[in-house]
Amino acid sequence: MSSQTSWEPDFAAESAKFRKDAAEEGMCLDTYPGGGGFYVEQRTQHAWAEWIRRVVAEHMENERLQSAENALVEWVEKTDWVQKTCHWSELGKHRADVLRERIEQLQAGFKNFHRSLCVRFGYFHDEADWQRDQVSLEEHIATQLNHVNAENAALRGQVEALRRAAGQLQEEKEALIEDLAFEKSQVEATLQAHAKLLAATVRAEGARDQLTSENETLRLKVRP
């Protein structure tokens, strides 16, 4: 479709239509020789000028109506999802009203979310200018998250140090267990040796007592 600023009527075609209509009206269609198509009779010239103005006006009106129709079709197509997602409480309402209500609900929900974020991160919630204050809230949250990340990094370092210390303690524990096991084996070997020595001592003392008893018996027998 041509734009209203660049369009101009087809003068040759319109002239033919006008001359036919003017002839039926009994107008004089004589023109000035070499006068660029101007009619001799003023009444005819005015009628021709009015004809062209009407043609231009009709074209502009057609363009306006076409533009409005295109806008309506585009509106219907782009808001068809509203029709498909309609809630029973929205039945009978205009799509524009439904969209406005949904937008207001979204804004209210996001405002509540903004309020909860402010409470969560210790930031002031401005009831009037909360939308304008979103960037500042984001910066505030980012600053707090940076602090938390720094604290987490420090805690991770401490945990890693504790893990290393625990590993060292485990190694020392295992070494101590090995030392205790070795010492235990040494003590057990010593106890076994002492037990054998004690047993030999007991046997020797028993043998000595037996010899002493036998010697005493012999002395008694050989007395006069």
Average predicted confidence (pLDDT) for the chain: 84
- Looking at the structure, tell me whether residues 169 and 209 fall in a common domain: yes
- Looking at the structure, tell me whether residues 98 and 64 fall in a common domain: no
- Looking at the structure, tell me whether residues 202 and 148 fall in a common domain: yes
In a domain, 193, yes or no: yes
- Looking at the structure, tell me whether residues 24 and 66 fall in a common domain: yes
In a domain, 3, yes or no: no
Beta carbons of 51 and 10 less than 8 angstroms apart: no
Q: What is the reported pLDDT for 35?
A: 63
Count: domains in the chain: 3
In a domain, 84, yes or no: no
- Looking at the structure, tell me whether residues 137 and 164 fall in a common domain: yes
- Looking at the structure, tell me whether residues 157 and 172 fall in a common domain: yes
- Looking at the structure, tell me whether residues 220 and 161 fall in a common domain: yes
- Looking at the structure, tell me whether residues 40 and 101 fall in a common domain: no
In a domain, 85, yes or no: no
In a domain, 205, yes or no: yes
Which string of DSSP letters, residue by residue, matches 89-117? GGTTS-HHHHHHHHHHHHHHHHHHHHHHH
Mean pLDDT for the stretch of residues 20-44: 85
C-alpha to C-alpha distance for 44 and 50, rounded to whole angstroms: 10
Q: What is the reported pLDDT for 67?
A: 94
Token code pair at residue 2: 């041509």
Residue 175 has pLDDT above 90, yes or no: no
Highest mean pLDDT (candidates 53-62, 94-103, 156-165, 172-181) = 53-62
- Looking at the structure, tell me whether residues 224 and 167 fall in a common domain: yes
In a domain, 5, yes or no: no
In a domain, 4, yes or no: no
Mean pLDDT for the stretch of residues 104-132: 80
Q: What is the reported pLDDT for 223?
A: 58
What's phi and psi for 103, nearest 5 deg? -65, -40
Residue tagged 């401490």 (tokens): 158
pTM of the model: 0.43
- Looking at the structure, tell me whether residues 144 and 178 fall in a common domain: yes
Query: Is residue 31 classed as helix, strand or coil in its secondary structure?
Result: strand
Residue 124 has pLDDT above 70, yes or no: yes
How far apart are the two ends of the chain, measured CA to CA in Å?
167
- Looking at the structure, tell me whether residues 152 and 72 fall in a common domain: no
Residue 2 has pLDDT above 60, yes or no: no
In a domain, 2, yes or no: no
Q: Which domain holds residue 192?
A: 133-224
- Looking at the structure, tell me whether residues 150 and 121 fall in a common domain: no
Residue tagged 């020797």 (tokens): 204
